[in-house]
């Protein structure tokens, strides 16, 4: 069992996302540690990609800021090394397949293992294609996180049966980003998942307010928030720590 299980061990999990290198690498380390202190149970670190096709405008812009500031896959690993000097919080990477492919699967997951990254979320790697890297990731103790979408229907159980770490339930159609409301029947998707696996579920895409988080955590094992956090970093730049602590605490309190 990977470190990811720890995130779900103490009740509902709050998984917080930020983009590596936005606004710069050392700040990302500070922000991860601050969010952990404020109550985040796991951090999802985005390795920026030039063309993030599953991302809304907020994370697209963060990716560009980070790349322009010189962020690379190697530097993302260095961020994790610095976090690991002070923290054992469960960590997952989120990126697109091309940067991982280019780094080399063996190199990439080997490095994940040595620095202590327990999971990876790759939105352009569906169930049909995951075999090309899942055995390599597994050999290095890294869970390839499965995603289930509102359109998955008869695919839900097939995907869930092979899931590891946690299952990322995509709340809505479209790309990442803040939404006024979430219309998908998450409860019935989770019911379908529960018929075939005990792997924990976390709901992401479009969640920003404590109220939404509470509602989503009510039907699942946790929530993932990205754009709302990245927005704070975009707004406050290198002075976002206070705002992040306050926001993370408000979400954690709402789901606890």
Which stretches of the chain bind other proteins, using CB under 8 A?
A: 49-51, 53-54, 56-57, 60, 64, 67, 72-74, 97-103, 123-129, 147-153, 155, 159, 170, 173-175
Minimum CB distance to other proteins, residue 33 (Å): 26
Q: Which is nearer to other proteins, 100 or 228 (CB)?
A: 100
Report the phi/psi class of residue 70: left, alpha or beta, with left for phi > 0 and alpha for psi in -120 to 50: left
Minimum CB distance to other proteins, residue 97 (Å): 5
- Spatial separation of the C-alpha atoms in residues 182 and 120, rounded to whole Å: 25
DSSP conformation letters of 180-220 = S---S-HHHHHHHHHTT----EEEESS--SHHHHHHHHHHS
- Spatial separation of the C-alpha atoms in residues 20 and 22, rounded to whole Å: 6
Residue bearing tokens 């397949």:
97
Closest CA to 235 of 70, 65, 93, 71: 65
Minimum CB distance to other proteins, residue 5 (Å): 23
Q: Which is nearer to other proteins, 186 or 254 (CB)?
A: 186
Minimum CB distance to other proteins, residue 152 (Å): 6
Q: Which is nearer to other proteins, 64 or 182 (CB)?
A: 64
Handedness of CA 244, 57, 51, 207 (dihedral sign): positive
Q: Which residues pair with 144 in a beta bridge?
A: 120
Q: Which is nearer to other proteins, 175 or 254 (CB)?
A: 175
Minimum CB distance to other proteins, residue 29 (Å): 20
Q: Which is nearer to other proteins, 86 or 102 (CB)?
A: 102
Q: Which is nearer to other proteins, 85 or 128 (CB)?
A: 128
**E strand segments, the chain:** 13-19, 42-46, 91-94, 119-121, 143-144, 146-148, 167-170, 201-204, 222-225
Rg (CA), the chain: 16
Minimum CB distance to other proteins, residue 37 (Å): 31
């Amino acid at each position: 069992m990977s470190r990811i299980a720890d995130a779900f061990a103490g009740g509902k999990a709050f998984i917080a996302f930020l983009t590596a290198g936005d606004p710069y690498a050392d700040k990302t380390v500070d922000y991860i540690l601050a969010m952990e202190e404020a109550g985040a149970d796991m951090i999802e670190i985005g390795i920026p990609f030039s063309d993030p096709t599953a991302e809304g405008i907020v994370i697209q812009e963060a990716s560009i800021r980070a790349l322009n500031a010189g962020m690379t896959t190697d530097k993302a690993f260095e961020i994790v090394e610095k976090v690991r000097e002070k923290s054992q919080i469960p960590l997952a990477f989120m990126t697109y397949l091309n940067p991982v492919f280019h780094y080399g699967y063996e190199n990439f997951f080997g490095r994940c293992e040595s620095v202590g990254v327990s999971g990876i979320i790759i939105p352009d790697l569906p169930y049909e294609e995951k075999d090309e890297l899942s055995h390599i990731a597994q050999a290095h103790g890294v869970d390839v996180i499965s995603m289930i979408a509102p359109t998955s229907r008869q695919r839900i159980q097939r995907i869930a049966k092979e899931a590891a770490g946690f299952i990322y339930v995509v709340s809505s159609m479209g790309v990442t980003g803040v939404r006024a409301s979430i219309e998908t029947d998450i409860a019935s998707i989770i019911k379908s998942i529960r018929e075939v696996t005990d792997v924990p579920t976390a709901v992401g895409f479009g969640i920003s307010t404590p109220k939404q988080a509470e509602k989503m955590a009510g039907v699942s094992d946790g929530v993932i928030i990205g754009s709302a956090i990245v927005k704070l970093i975009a707004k406050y730049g290198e002075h976002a720590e206070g705002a992040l602590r306050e926001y993370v605490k408000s979400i954690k309190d709402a789901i606890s």
